[in-house]
Amino acid sequence: MQLFYDFIPIIVFFVAYKLWGIYVATATAIIASLIQVLNYRWRYKKFEKMQVITLAIIIVFGGATLILHNPIFIKWKPTILNWAFGIIFLISHFFGKKPIIRYMMEAKVNLPTIVWSRLNLSWVVFFLTMGFINLFIIYNFSTEVWVYFKLFGMLGLTLAFVVIQAVYLARHVSPDQVKL
């Protein structure tokens, strides 16, 4: 459910793009992201770090798109966001007490340290790869193709990656290790 919640600004962006074009879509994505962060804050009395990072990046890159009237900035936002997450996961792997993926998931599942490391590094590779794929789409296809990729391509690749992760985890987790 969290994955869908995180994709709401992207869906809003897509619908606004289809109705009014890239600049209105950019403005609505900024507003939708702000509402999402404030709603989370209101409901849970705290900020979700990933949402705040995403909001900051969309304000900077979306704002640049609107101010400079150039869509390249909003197109680069997914790359910057994915690379930022990839770097954060990578830094946590080498410099933190434990990988960031472990902080995110260990309340629900108990895994050996090596599995946490592999899982974390696979997310690093995924995020960095998604950034490069986005750049490939930006510079080889139209804005319309990029918008479709942003919603359907990125969502599809993310879901496929999560399924692959689940299959990998299933090999390392017994039912008694899952914490509900």
pLDDT in tens, 3-58: 567 778 889 999 999 999 999 999 999 999 999 999 999 999 999 888 899 899 99
Q: Give the position of tokens 């702000």.
A: 34
Select from 35, 34, 30, 38 the least CA-distant residue to 73.
30
What pLDDT shows up at residue 8? 86
What pLDDT shows up at residue 76? 98
Q: What is the mean pLDDT of the chain?
A: 92
| pLDDT over 70 at 150, yes or no | yes
Chain CA centroid to CA 57, Å: 11
| Amino acid of residue 78 | P
Calculate what percentage of the chain has a pLDDT beyond 90: 76
Q: Which residues contact 1 (CB under 8 A, 6 or more apart)?
A: none
CB 10 within 8 A of CB 53: no
What pLDDT shows up at residue 175? 67
What pLDDT shows up at residue 3? 59
DSSP 178: B
Select from 62, 68, 78, 60 the least CA-distant residue to 135.
78
Q: Is 147 exposed, middle or buried (0-12, 13-18, 19+ CB in 10 A)?
A: buried
| pLDDT over 80 at 180, yes or no | no
